[in-house]
Structure 1
């Protein structure tokens, strides 16, 4: 009986601890990435349309002010048309959050914000943002992110916001264009 009582007490304690962590996470934003001069960006990977024969070129770095800097040229030659930068991380349980908040400065162009529940998923959940050439703080609700594969909306529910293993930014506006995008901070709220 003592062992049984001890197991019950441990179970009650673990549930209480989980509830405290859950409540704490609900009230505190989670910083997915905060760029600085010391940022380690080895998990940020550029993927261009060259994987399909295209000729677009993108680069990602941290500039001398400490901002993430995604720049390059999108080319439609050889059936190309996109450049992206992807941040892969260990699976995060994100159900206590409802949105992504981005602080960035773009070039007036449209970009896709993309997330994956698992890196191995063939599709992403996407939302479009329009930059205006100034520093902006943009919010994207999880529930508004649609499932998409190669530019086609899939017949699946929108992003449920349970788990996340990848955050990405893609430019692919069906035209030849140069692009520049500065990133300051990415937060889940």
Structure 2
């Protein structure tokens, strides 16, 4: 049975999410996670290359997983034809190692995206960290969404929810 991490069916579901864009390094990209009255959240904004920028992200803390370790993270999303990353962090810090997995949902239709924990790569500020601690689902403390990789311009990813899965 999947464990719900976030279900975006109410306006208050987006309240714990904060934008962390390239503005922290002098860039000008902007993003937000907002509630859509149709009953889901929307991660949207503008990614700009100005001032060595080029990424937009949102993240929130997550409660410890009730049943311990997991095998995958599942999202139900409606894409815009762009590639996104799901970020997992094993601490509550602002800066540090992000475990990232990319996904590219088709534009305009709701799809289920399952990302195996084994596919998440440890990075720090966009660089691979080969000697990072192994990602274990029981240690996940923050979850985030990101768009980067020179995908400039407006973006919009609709999201119904995020779940932890066990095989």
**Structure 1 and Structure 2 fold alike (TM over 0.5):** yes
Structure 1: gaps (5+ residues):
1-27
Query: Which is worse superposed, 57-66 or 92-101?
Result: 92-101
Alpha carbons of 1:93 and 1:142: their partners in 2 closer, same or farther (altered >3 Å)?
farther
Structure 2: gaps (5+ residues):
none
Aligned partner of 1:165 in structure 2 is: 141
After TM superposition, give the deviation of residue 38 of structure 1 in Å. Answer: 4.1
Aligned: 1:58 with 2:25: no
SS class of match (1:50)? helix
Which of these two proteins has the greater Rg computed from alpha carbons?
Answer: 1
Q: Find the aligned partners of 1:126 and 1:54 in 2 and give their Cα distance.
A: 21
Aligned partner of 2:8 in structure 1 is: 35
Structure ranking higher in helix proportion: 1
CA contact (8 A) 2:31 2:46 kept: yes
1:149-184, Cα deviation, whole Å (9 max, x unpaired):
111110135423231110001001214221001010
CA contact (8 A) 1:145 1:158 kept: no
CA contact (8 A) 1:143 1:158 kept: no
CA contact (8 A) 1:92 1:165 kept: no
Alpha carbons of 1:80 and 1:38: their partners in 2 closer, same or farther (altered >3 Å)?
closer
Deviation beyond 6 Å, 4+ runs, structure 1:
none
CA contact (8 A) 2:105 2:113 kept: no
TM-score (norm 1): 0.80
